[in-house]
Amino acid sequence: MQNSAVISADLHISFTKGLQMRPTDVVKDKKLLSILDRYSDSTGPGMGTVLRRTIENLINTEVVIPVIGMQGTGKSTLINAVIGEDILPCGCNETTCIPIEIKYSHQSYAVIFFNDDRTPLRIFTHDELRSYADNNENPSNIKNVSHAVVFSNAGILKNNVVFVDLPGAGGLTGVSNTATLRYIQSLSFAVFLLPVVPTIRKADETLIKLAWMQFSSAVFAENSWDDNRREISESVDFNKKVLEEIAQSLHCRFDNDITVINAEKAVNGQLENDTRKVQTSNIAALVDKLKSVIDNWEKTKQDNFIYRYRNMLAYCKKEISDRINDFTNSENDSQERLEAERKLFETATDELEKKADTIITFINNKRTEIYDMISECARVCCENIRSETFRVIDCGVVDGDQLSIVFNDYRKKFVSQAYSKVLEEIIEIRRTLSSYAKDFDDLISKENAVSFRSMSFNSDQTFKYEKGLRVGINIAGGLSGFVVGALIGGPAFFFIMAAALFFGGWLGHYSYSQITAQRAVKAKETLGPYLESVEKNFKSEMKDAIDEIAAQASEKLENYISERRKHIASLYSLKVRQLSLDNDKNNLIILEQDLKYICTRERSAYE
């Protein structure tokens, strides 16, 4: 693993720009941390403790970059090219079946982690890694592997950069949905890898829509396998138009740029020390983009630290000033001011609760509407499959193998169409929720503008409960995560992407021994149960996904309002305790000394 002192030193330099007080200096300033803790809300961790943990997280935070794409696009080869090493097994027959993290270490080795209680296994060769990571040698992940971590000393991995090679969408390799989703949810950036030929297909478009909802930014790359220039140019033009349409439908930003690379040529050039091959592969352009993302990532962490640090100082200064005022004013005046603050917070909470009820009602109403739509889509889907398959049977195709292929082709086509229609409705729901979310956020922003206490509460809830969602629980962003979790990770997505997993295999086997000997009428009768299963499974999986989206969104809102109610109940008793402390005249000296120290630190934070 990378030496922690190196990481700390790098962050020490990165986070000092524009800030005189360095994070490492803050950790060493025991007096500052003690003061911050002393004037914190007693219902949670002190600000000094939170700030110390924040700085520790700065040192330990990883820059996780998942590579997403359909099966066979060359994700493993791409990562090898970016890393500059033949680190992951890849080739025309290779199919990655588990998530693989690539991290920095001075030594080269890999660790295999399992879903059960087996001890992680350290390995050292490509063949060993292949035996766990390649679906050809670990079919359907029968070895129950959770994920693998491969260590390399490649320079781009320094400063806690982690690339993740994910199993390709569209192939059912038995990988754990939970293990895969943890590399997609709660992240802000991804690399989408597309083939040059064919261009973006319906399955690619579905994957991009679902995943792009979750990421605030993304890099798009096309992997060329020695395609000619005309094919590449036409592919890029077509794919840009598709991506622009997707971006507009999702209200995402697309910079109209696709980086075309030849990952295989880059890897071969690196292995053969052929500079020309590496240059003509254009891998350097993609690496430059990724390095820019990594650099901005550090700036984001810097900005977040400075913002939190300055807000804590401002809150602490205001809190000490209030206590000094409480001491110099009469107790009745102080009590009136505190009661007024409590009423303002309670009034804002009442208004936010109404907004939350409106959002929850909208979600539940839409859930009922979309239920009907799912049922109708499933009915139309199966009717189309039935009519098209029966038409082929009437033309004399009653042979088991041929009929199995026909059935599966139509199943994929019409189920995909039905799924796309439902997905478009979900996107429309998300768009409406965006306006509700903005109203919710605006109310909290207004509240924060006039009250340090409200800002403290909301920031605390964002940190403790929402794990990265914006203050006010950005419902639109949150919904995206639920959609990704429920649809990409759920059975519905894999049900649609499967070429012929269950129905195809079973139908093929059954029809081979039974249908071949029957006439068209018998063939149609035999297909009946499979059509019923398609309709039943589509409705069941899609409704389960919608239920999960609605339940999680409602839970986030209800939890937020509940925490505000608890905070209201704690305000009065907390302030009474503070007043009793401030009544001691000797405490006034301590208050004034603490205020002077905080003001000094605040000035240094802005110099």
Per-residue pLDDT, averaged over 28-57, amounts to 80
Query: Looking at the predicted structure, is the pLDDT value of residue 571 above 60?
Result: yes
Q: Is the pLDDT of residue 374 over 60?
A: yes
Which residue would you say has higher pLDDT here, 337 or 370? 370
Q: Tell me if 76 sits within 8 A of 173, measured CB to CB.
A: no
pLDDT score, position 44: 58
pLDDT at 486: 39
Ranges 273-282, 308-317, 529-538, 582-591, most confident = 273-282
Question: pLDDT at position 154, please?
Answer: 92
Q: What is the pLDDT at residue 42?
A: 60
Residue 21: per-residue pLDDT = 56
CB 511, CB 460: distance < 8 Å = no
Looking at residue 469, what is its pLDDT?
Answer: 28
Tell me the C-alpha distance between 85 and 567, whole Å.
54
Q: Confidence class of residue 8 from pLDDT cuts 50, 70 and 90?
A: very low
Residue 115 DSSP symbol: S
Q: If pLDDT is split at 50, 70 and 90, which confidence band does 383 have?
A: very high
Helix (DSSP H) and strand (DSSP E) numbers for the chain: 20, 9
The dihedral of CA 288, 290, 294, 299: what is its sign? positive
- DSSP output for 241-273: HHHHHHHHHHT----S--EEE-HHHHHHHHHHT
Q: Is the pLDDT of residue 150 over 90?
A: yes
How much is the pLDDT for 452? Answer: 55
- The CA-CA-CA angle for residues 424, 374, 393, to 5°, reads 105
Task: Give the residue among 66, 56, 318 at the shortest CA–CA distance from 186.
Answer: 66
Q: Which three-class secondary structure state does DSSP give residue 398?
A: coil
CB 292 within 8 A of CB 283: no
| CA nearest to 47, candidates 59, 38, 60 | 38
Most confident of 34-48, 138-152, 550-564: 138-152
Q: What mean pLDDT comes out for the span 538-556?
A: 81
Inform me whether the pLDDT recorded for 401 exceeds 90: no
- Nearest Cα residue to 213 out of 191, 195, 188, 236: 188
Average pLDDT of the residues in 363-384 = 91
Task: Render pLDDT for 185-196 as a digit per residue (tens, 0 to 9).
Answer: 556 678 999 878
Of 294 and 576, the one with more pLDDT: 294
Sheet of strand 121-123: strand arrangement: 121-123, 109-114, 145-152, 100-104, 161-165, 63-68, 189-195, 217-223, 259-261
Note the pLDDT of residue 94. 59
Determine the Cα–Cα distance for residues 558 and 425; give it in Å rounded to an integer: 25
Q: How far is CA 519 from the centre of its chain?
A: 52
Determine how β-strand 161-165 pairs with β-strand 100-104.
antiparallel
Q: Which position has the higher pLDDT, 509 or 37?
A: 37
Instruction: Please report the pLDDT score of residue 350 as a whole number.
Output: 92
Tell me the average pLDDT across 130-155.
89
Q: 104 exposed, middle or buried (CB, 10 Å; 0-12, 13-18, 19+)? A: buried
Report pLDDT for 273. Answer: 92
pLDDT, one tens digit per residue, over 331-367 is 556 567 667 777 888 888 899 899 889 888 988 898 8
d(CA 181, CA 485): 7
Confidence grade of residue 288 (pLDDT, cut at 50, 70, 90) = very high
Residue 31 has pLDDT above 70, yes or no: yes
pLDDT at residue 342, rounded to an integer: 77
Confidence class for position 132, pLDDT limits 50, 70, 90: very high
pLDDT higher than 50, residue 487 = no
pLDDT at 457: 66
Map tokens 């995909």 to a residue: 416
Taking the whole predicted model, whether its pTM rises above 0.85 is answered as: no
Residue at 63: amino acid letter: V
Give the pLDDT band (50/70/90) at residue 60.
low
Mean per-residue pLDDT for 281-285? Answer: 95
What is the rounded (10 degree) CA torsion for 39, 601, 303, 151? -90
Burial of 59 (0-12, 13-18, 19+ CB in 10 A): middle
What's residue 578's pLDDT? 56
User: For 53-59, which contacts have Cβ atoms below 8 Å and span 24 or more sequence positions?
Assistant: 54/305, 54/308, 55/23, 55/24, 55/26, 55/27, 55/305, 58/11, 58/15, 58/23, 58/301, 58/305, 59/4, 59/7, 59/8, 59/11
Q: Residue 547 pLDDT more than 60?
A: yes
pLDDT at residue 9 in the model: 34
Q: How far apart, in Å, are the Cα atoms of 556 and each of 31, 206, 568?
A: 37, 27, 19
Section 266-278 average pLDDT: 93
Mean pLDDT of the chain: 75
pLDDT tens-digit series, residues 154-183: 999 987 899 999 887 654 444 444 455 566
Instruction: Using alpha carbons, list the distances in angstroms from residue 271 to 60, 64, 150, 264, 597.
Output: 33, 26, 19, 11, 59
Full DSSP string of 195-257: ESSS---HHHHHHHHHHHTT-SEEEEEEE-SS--HHHHHHHHHHHHHHHHHHHHHHT----S-
Q: Distance (Å, rounded) from C-alpha 543 to C-alpha 87?
A: 42
